[in-house]
Amino acid sequence: MGSISETNGPVKCAEKPLAGRVALVTGGSRGIGRAIALKLAGIGADVAICGRDSAKLSASEKELAATGVRAVAIAADVTKSGDVAKLVERVDKELQPIAILVNNAGMGLFGPFHEKSEEEWDRLIDTNLKSVFLVSRAVVPGMIKRGGGDIINISSLAGKNVFAGGGIYCASKWGVQGLSGCMAEELREYGIRVSTVCPGSVATEFGGRGPKDPTKVLRPEDVAHAVAMLAMQGEQSFVSNVELRPLKKA
């Protein structure tokens, strides 16, 4: 990366390579999203987070502000286009236009597909897939106007593999993979990179398929490290997909 941000202008230092850039992390009040937000703040980005839990948003906002960057936490439902429009407008107003979008909001729902309800299908697909479409659609016009940006979608190894009991979840993450790939091809000519991060099992409160051995799963900070790497790519490079696995097999 050069010492000057072509998009935003301020001088960067080696310790704060994202200084002068604004990142929005959806689902940023806990788990992987919180770790990503803190990592990006730690390397200089001003950070906006959104979620549905006001108490957790407030606590995470204080942690982010303590790193010395500007931070804002906004209650929003990213499955609703009206909420998304207000979210992006407020980030632009209180910080500045979004240069890095991390679509992290997600949920888990597991079990035989034929035992799931239509409501469960809609809730999971809206949270894991529709939100990526809605938030990206709201942010992209500004990125095109400014001539660049990074969109990093948190997918899963379940977006490339199948397993019994994962029907709806896998469908959502395979959808994220397909949508992300098409977005990347459509937007690269505008200087916008769209990447996916596909973690294996991560030690969070996220609903999974059962108890996790903490020595055989990833940490939220591992995912955050991958996101930071993508956000700090050289201006000419494009890493389209990162797969993360625990070192030790379960």
The helix (run of H) or strand (run of E) holding residue 241 is strand 241-244
Residue 249 tokens, joined: 């097999």
Give which of 169, 157, 32 is closest to 113, Cα–Cα: 169
Q: Kindly provide the b/e burial profile for residues 201-225, where b requires at least 16 CB atoms within 10 angstroms of the residue's own CB.
A: bbbbebeeeeebeeeebbbbebbbb
- Residue of 169, 183, 195, 230 with catalytic role: 169
Residues comprising the chain, all counted: 250
For residue 3, what is the DSSP state? S
Distance between CA atoms of residues 32 and 111, nearest Å: 23
Given 3-state DSSP classes, what are the helix, strand and coil percentages for the chain, each rounded to the nearest 5? 45, 20, 40
Q: Provide the residue type at 197 as one letter.
A: V
190 is catalytic: no
Q: Are 57 and 75 in contact (CB under 8 A)?
A: yes
CA distance 160 to 242: 12
Task: List CB contacts of 91: < 8 A, sequence separation 6 or more.
Answer: 22, 24, 48, 72, 74, 98
User: Under a CB-based contact definition with an 8 Å cutoff, are residues 50 and 102 in contact?
Assistant: no
Instruction: Round to whole Å and give the CA distance between 49 and 34.
Output: 8
Give the residue numbers marked as catalytic.
169
